[in-house]
Chain A
Amino acid sequence: MSTLSRRQILKGGLVTVAGAAGVAGAARLGDRLGLIPPDHQGLFGVGETLTYASQRLLMASGSRAREFTRSEISQKPVANGTVPENEEWERMVAGKFAAWRLTVDGLVERPAAFSLAELMRFPAQSQITMLTCEEGWSFIAEWTGVALSHVLNLVGVRPGARYVAYFSQQGDWWDSIDMADAWHAQTLLTYGMNGADLSIPHGAPLRLRVPRQLGYKSVKYLMRLTVTETMDGIGKGLGSSAPEFGYSWYAGI
């Protein structure tokens, strides 16, 4: 009986060590393949990592979010949330965003600042996609803008880049996407909606659209993009202000 239990303890110990080594190895491999989200900590992080990793593998071929026809565009698109409240913002609105710039910095060859007019001169794209709120409601609209990939190619992304973080004029609202979403053909810096200029409630002058994720990743009132290798040191290092409010960084579901 005692030898059996000693053998069992030894076996149990070996299984535990092998298991821990397996988990550590899987974590390292997952990190190298970009399958570990910045908010992977804790028990909820286990679920987040499984969701992010499995969806990234499923979408490895660069799948496209569903697109709709003009007749499916919602009559009254809902503008959720609040408008920025600060002096700099008020001045930019008063000047019809002439003073507004989108700064692009971080791991890039040529940091730049683009005016709205410059962005509008870049090749424009339109998409009719659904914006789905995490609460459950949704609407369909046509968004017009320049592909984020176009701007990234202009500034020249340096090797080692893993995320594009983006910051809103609205208080401490910021977020980030991985390079798979940053280079994706449907990820647009939008300045137009339903054939008109993007309205202030919908995020003027510039809103990022990430249609393969829920609405809260499509941050409004953009003012800065940063290409980065790590989310450490930006906010609490969780990849977005969303986890600081209790929401997941990855919002593919």
Chain B
Amino acid sequence: VSTSISVVERSLRVETAESPRHSAVVRVTHWINTLSFIGLLVSGIAVLISHPRFYWGEVGNVETASLFDLPLPKVLAGQNGWGRYLHFLSAWVCVLNGSFYALSGLLSRHFKKSLLPLRADLAWSSLRQVIASHLRLEPPRAERSYNVLQRLAYSVVVFLFFPLAVWTGLAMSPAITSVTPIIVTVWGGHQSARTLHFFVAVALVLFLIVHIVMVSLTGFRKRMRAMITGHTATLEENE
């Protein structure tokens, strides 16, 4: 018992001595977002396979030409109600959680300090260096802050892809567009918004794949520990 107490005490000392790699807000919102994204993805696929055709403009249906058809079985026609319930429940979690994250990121200056690319890093010479080292598949250096490619990727996801997903999603709502028609007309119509919603979802899934691959390459357990406890190292590694 006394050993375990001293372990706890020492770990507390370590925790307070070093500021966490990820703040509590980032860690909690990250995992809530993970859950909501899984909900959105699964339910989005359920809705998609009830009509896997895409169009451009205002209207599109089985009597009109499509922009493209996905080679998916049309299996859930008339049975995707649970998908819609789950999609909107997950969307609420995603939007509320994301708004809290965004507000906190602004107020704590987390976005400015850690997420937005630094002006100097965006210089071509600097960018070329980072891209080249990635292309050579060099092992990542243990850095405390994100490199320019990470900052660009996270910024695009947080400030472009998620807001676009919400926007194009709301643009498909006949109730919302009765209040603000411009959110759908700006895309050229209801079906355009639906097609863009699909492309944004694909972009987010591609990001997720790259994200998981990079986390695995740089030490899956270590990165998971950092996003759960806030610290990369265990007590033994600290000593």
**A interface residues (Cβ-Cβ under 8 A, vs B):** 43-44, 46-48, 50-51, 55, 58-59, 63-66, 68, 72, 74-78, 130, 132-140, 211-214, 242, 245-248, 252-253
Q: Are A47 and B88 in contact (CB under 8 A)?
A: yes
List of 7 A-B pairs having minimum Cβ-Cβ separation, nearest first: A47-B89, A252-B175, A246-B81, A253-B173, A247-B81, A76-B63, A137-B61
Q: Which residues of A contact B64 (CB under 8 A)?
A: 74, 76
Q: Looking at chain A's contact residues, is the secondary structure mostly helix, strand, loop, or mixed?
A: loop
Smallest CB-CB separation from B86: which chain A residue? Answer: A44
Q: Are B175 and A253 in contact (CB under 8 A)?
A: yes
Smallest CB-CB separation from A140: which chain B residue? Answer: B59
| Cα distance A139–B191 in the bound complex, in angstroms | 10
Does B181 lie at the interface of the complex (its beta carbon under 8 Å from any beta carbon of A)? yes
| Other A-B pairs beyond A58-B179, A253-B173, 12, CB < 8 Å | A43-B89, A47-B85, A63-B178, A63-B179, A66-B184, A72-B58, A76-B63, A135-B51, A139-B63, A242-B81, A245-B81, A253-B174
Q: Are A135 and B50 in contact (CB under 8 A)?
A: yes
Q: Are A74 and B89 in contact (CB under 8 A)?
A: no
24 contacts between A and B (CB under 8 A): A44-B85, A55-B175, A65-B177, A72-B58, A77-B63, A78-B63, A130-B58, A134-B47, A134-B80, A135-B50, A135-B80, A137-B51, A137-B61, A138-B190, A212-B178, A246-B79, A247-B81, A248-B84, A248-B88, A252-B174, A252-B176, A253-B172, A253-B173, A253-B174
Interface mask (B69-85 → A, CB under 8 Å = 1, otherwise 0): 00000000111111011
| Cα distance A6–B173 in the bound complex, in angstroms | 49
Q: Are B50 and A59 in contact (CB under 8 A)?
A: no
Q: Which residues of A contact B85 (CB under 8 A)?
A: 44, 47-48, 246, 248
Q: Which residues of A contact B62 (CB under 8 A)?
A: 78, 137
| Cα distance A253–B172 in the bound complex, in angstroms | 7
| Cα distance A50–B57 in the bound complex, in angstroms | 30
- How many cross-chain pairs have Cβ atoms below 8 Å apart between A and B? 124
Q: Which residues of B contact A214 (CB under 8 A)?
A: 174
Q: Which residues of B contact A50 (CB under 8 A)?
A: 92
Q: Are A134 and B84 in contact (CB under 8 A)?
A: yes
Q: Are B59 and A139 in contact (CB under 8 A)?
A: yes
Q: Are A68 and B89 in contact (CB under 8 A)?
A: no
Most buried by A among B62, B64, B178, B184: B178
| Cα distance A253–B169 in the bound complex, in angstroms | 9
Q: Find residues 181-201 in chain B having any chain A CB closer than 8 Å to their own CB.
A: 181, 184, 190-191, 194
A188 to chain B, nearest CB (A): 15
A54 to chain B, nearest CB (A): 9
Q: Are A130 and B59 in contact (CB under 8 A)?
A: yes
Smallest CB-CB separation from B81: which chain A residue? Answer: A246
| Cα distance A74–B64 in the bound complex, in angstroms | 9
| Cα distance A244–B135 in the bound complex, in angstroms | 55
Q: A44-B89, A135-B51, A137-B51 are in contact. Are A213 and B175 (CB under 8 A)?
A: yes
Does B105 lie at the interface of the complex (its beta carbon under 8 Å from any beta carbon of A)? no
Q: A48-B88, A135-B51, A247-B84 are in contact. Are A55 and B176 (CB under 8 A)?
A: yes
| Cα distance A213–B175 in the bound complex, in angstroms | 6
